[in-house]
Amino acid sequence: MKVLVTGGAGYIGAHVSDLLEKNGYQVRIFDDFSNGLERRTKSFADIYSGDITDRQAVLKAMDGVDAVIHLAAKKAVGESVSNPLKYYTNNVGGTMNLLAAMSLKKVSKIVFSSRLRSIHQVRRMQLQRAIQLSRSRHMEPPNFSQSS
């Protein structure tokens, strides 16, 4: 089985790719190397350098693939707040490109990963902002209960 690992040059992607290969899977790495390191991919022969927002690049990388592990995403919380369109385009638009390519190539297996830490950081920022607003309006802060 051939597995496409998007974001395969990232820290997690490189480890996932290594484990897949050690367990008998063929691995194709797709990465734009904007955050990932090329040295992490040196042991792999099947590497596509491309941007997840480039539909044709994603479609080409999908050739002969049986499954996808999607790890490609921008992840800096601070920058995502200052430049949300960049993150939306990459993370949402890129995922849509990937899903469209999978549909065209009839690939139905996907593992999608997201950074929980980012969610907690955003949640903490929202909570801090809500508390600031409530203090400025002399109200009690909202009760954000931790959910799993």
pLDDT, one tens digit per residue, over 84-95 is: 788 788 888 899
Q: Give the pLDDT mean for 120-139.
A: 58
| Helix and strand numbers, DSSP H then E, in the chain | 6, 5
Ramachandran sector of residue 106 (left: φ over 0; alpha: ψ -120 to 50; beta: rest) = left
Do 7 and 70 contact (CB within 8 A), yes or no?
A: yes
142: Cβ contacts below 8 Å, ≥ 6 apart: 130, 134
How far is the C-alpha of 41 from the C-alpha of 9, rounded, in Å?
6
Question: Which tokens sit at 41?
Answer: 């991919």
Other residues' Cβ atoms within 10 Å of the Cβ of residue 118? 15
Report which DSSP code applies to 91: I
Domains by residue range for the chain, with CATH: 2-114 (3.40.50.720), 116-148 (no CATH)
Summarised one tens digit per residue, pLDDT across range 58-72 is 999 999 999 999 998
What is the percentage of the chain residues whose pLDDT exceeds 90? 50
Residue 78 pLDDT > 80, yes or no?
A: no
Residue 145 pLDDT > 90, yes or no?
A: no
Helix (H/G/I), strand (E/B), else coil: 109: strand
pTM to 2 decimal places: 0.74
Tokens 């990932």 correspond to what residue?
36
How far is the C-alpha of 145 from the C-alpha of 99, rounded, in Å?
33
